[in-house]
Every structure is written in structure tokens, then in C-alpha cells.
Amino acid sequence: MRAVIQRVLEASVTVAGKREAEIGPGLLVLVGVEDADTDEDIAWLTAKIANLRIFGDSNGVMNLSVCDVSGEIIVVSQFTLHASTKKGNRPSYIKAARPEIAIPLYEQFVAELQLACGQTIQTGIFGADMKVALVNDGPVTIVIDTKNKE
């Protein structure tokens, strides 16, 4: 699994002109699932995101997690995170999992992140043409790939 985590002041997801999700301060998490992903990848990534210390403490030092600050979270599926651009100019998405594999893993990821933070996680709509708006705070943007965890 690959995730792009952005600390935001606010974020929203709109599909076909309808606002599907909206948060205040917290995290926007773009997540891509590949064929090789497992339950272990989900567990590791949810723990990493829930405990990632990228929010300021009383001294302004990034020392608190999204759970510590009761921040909100939106998770958006994004298969293009697994784009390969090694050859030519058209990205290849061969490593991105097909929906029949990706959807259950994505839903499990959202459920486990919800348990880890003890709050409802908002989401976009898997496979939809989404308009994602955000105000990046910092900016703070972290990229995590479960295949590079060692």
C-alpha cells in the first residue's frame, strides 16, 4: 500500500457536484492498493498513520499524532499512486490492484484506521471521479509505502 498523508486545515471530497466528505483540521490520506498488499500491510500502515507525530505540541514542535489532537481524517482511494513512469510518457498502472482486490482491502484499511483513532473516518467514493479540495497545513506532506518499511 502506498499513502500520501497531508496535514490539513480543511479538506473535502465532491462527486458529481455533491459534497461527499468534509473535515476541519486533521489528515487527508490518499491511499493506493496494489496486488501484493496483505492484512499485514494494512495493520502496519494504519498504526503508522494513527501514530505519526506531525501536529504541533504546546511548544510548536511536531510531537503529536492526529489521534492526540482529535483531528479528523478523510481517506481517498487513488490507484494512480502506483503509477510506473519508467518507460515513455504514459504511466502504467500494472501494479495497482483491480477493484475486486482493492475494494475489500481499502474498506478494511478505513475500518482499521477508524478503530486505531476511535473516530469516524470520512471517505470519498471508490472508483469515482472525485474533486478533492484541501488547505495543506504547513505544508506537511508525508509519503509512506508499506513495501519500504524496513
Q: Which of the residues are catalytic?
A: 78-80
Q: Which of 123, 102, 144, 139 is nearest to 2 (CA)?
A: 144
Give dist(CA 61, CA 66) in Å, integer: 14
Q: Which three cell numbers stand for residue 93?
A: 498502472
Give the helix/strand (H/E) hosting 30.
Answer: strand 26-32
